[in-house]
Copies of this chain bind each other. A is one copy, B any other.
Amino acid sequence: MSEQKRTVFYLSDRTGITAETLGHSLLTQFDNITWETVNAPFLDSVEKAGAVREQIDRAAERDGCRPLVFSTLLRPEILEVIKQADCRIFDFFETFIRSIEEELHQPFARMAGRSHGLQHHLSYFKRIAAINYVLAHDDGVNPRNFDAAEIILTGVSRSGKTPTCLYLGLQYGIAAANYPLTPDDMRANQAATLPEVLQPVKAKLFGLTLSAAQLHFIRSERRPGSQYASLAQCAQEIEWQESLFQRYYIPFLDTTRISIEEISAIILNRSGLKRRLYG
C-alpha cells in the first residue's frame, strides 16, 4: 500500500492532553500514513476557532483529502465554527456524554479543565511530595530512608531506574526509590548475593533488566568505546543481575521494547500498588 500523507488536528478548551491521548491511540492502529499534527489547545473563543477553521481548510487543500479532527471542545458555539471546515470530526465529549448523563440521571457540568485542572489541587501536593522523595532517593542515596519507599527499583547502570521512578512519582504520586547494582557488587560476590542494604527491604524490590545489546547501545551514547559500554561487560552485568533477581525471587521486567508508561503500569500491576492516575 502506498504511503498516505494526512493531517490531524487536536482541539481542546484546555490542555489538549485528553484529545491527543485518545486520538493517538486510535491512529497508531493504522500503518503507512505520515501524520502532520496540529495542536490547538486553549481554543476558547470564536475568533480563535475561525483561525483554526482556515488552517483546517488549507490543510485539506494541500493534502488533497480532509483532515481528521479530534475534539474535546465543550462549548457548542466554538464547535459550530469548526464544523464548517472541510474535515471529519471525532467528538469525544458529545459521543459519550449523553449516555453517561442517562446512566447517572444528571446533566453534565459543561466545565472545561476539570480533568487536568482545578480538581487536582490536593493531588498536587501528593505528587510534589512523591517527586521530592524520588529525587532525594535516586541512585541509592539515603538507603536508610528506604522504609518510607512504596517501591524500590534496582538494576545495573542505565537500566532505566531514574526515569521510571520519576514517572511513578509524577503520574501516580508513588514514593519510588532506586538502588543501582554496580560492577563492584558483582565482583564482590560472584555467587550473586544481594547487597546488604537491600536485604531488610527485599519485599519492596523490583528489578529492571534489558537486552545486553540495548544496554550496550545506551551506554555507548554516554561513554563511547569504554569498557563500561562494551557489549561483553553489558552481557556479564545483565546475566549476573538476572541470576540475582531469580535467586532472591525479586520480580523483574525486561524493558527492552516497552515505553516508560508501560514499564510503570506493569510494575504497579505486578506489585499490587494502588494506582492513582493524576493529570
Contacts and interface: CB of A to CB of B under 8 A. Distances in A.
B100 A27 contact: yes
A254 to B, nearest CB: 13
Nearest to A91: B96
A93 interface: yes
B95 A95 contact: yes
A126 to B, nearest CB: 11
A148 interface: no
Specify how many copies of this chain sit in the oligomer: 2
Interface string A254-277: 000111111011100100000101
A117 B260 CA distance: 8
A99 B104 CA distance: 28
B96 A41 contact: no
B24 A221 contact: no
A125 interface: yes
Interface string A10-34: 0000111110111011111111110
A62 interface: no
Nearest to A138: B135
A66 B27 CA distance: 31
B104 A275 contact: no
Contacts of A144: none
A30 B106 CA distance: 8
Contacts of A106: 1, 30-32
Contacts of A75: none
Contacts of A99: 88, 90
A274 to B, nearest CB: 9
A74 to B, nearest CB: 8
A25 B115 contact: yes
B163 A116 contact: no
Nearest to A217: B125
Contacts of A218: 125, 128
Contact of A265 (B41, B121, B261): B41
Contacts of A275: 39
15 contacts: A1-B106, A15-B262, A16-B265, A25-B116, A26-B108, A27-B100, A28-B115, A29-B108, A30-B108, A95-B95, A118-B258, A124-B259, A131-B163, A163-B170, A167-B170
